[in-house]
Amino acid sequence: MKNTKELKEAYKQMKFPSGVFQIRNTVNGKIFVDSSNNLDAIWNRHRAQLALEAT
């Protein structure tokens, strides 16, 4: 089993998909454009925020 230091180092070495993304509001046509170093994480964040607002 790896210790905390080894796990942190392994995480730092991981490569995440980065880039520019857009979120389009289909109700009013507005578009939100942003960029991120970790597209998976930012997508999860925005999806969770939208789910909270929908309830």
pLDDT tens for each residue of 5-50: 999 999 889 999 999 999 999 999 999 999 999 999 999 999 999 8
Determine the pLDDT at residue 53: 85
The contacts of residue 53 (CB under 8 Å, 6+ apart) are none
What separation, in Å, do the N-terminal and C-terminal C-alpha atoms of the chain show? 41
The answer to whether the predicted template modeling score (pTM) of the entire model surpasses 0.75 is no
pLDDT score for 7: 93
Asked if pLDDT for residue 55 goes beyond 80, the answer is no
Residue 39 in 3-state DSSP?
helix
Bridge partners (DSSP) of residue 21 are 34
For residue 43, which of 25, 17, 5, 9 has the smallest C-alpha distance? 17
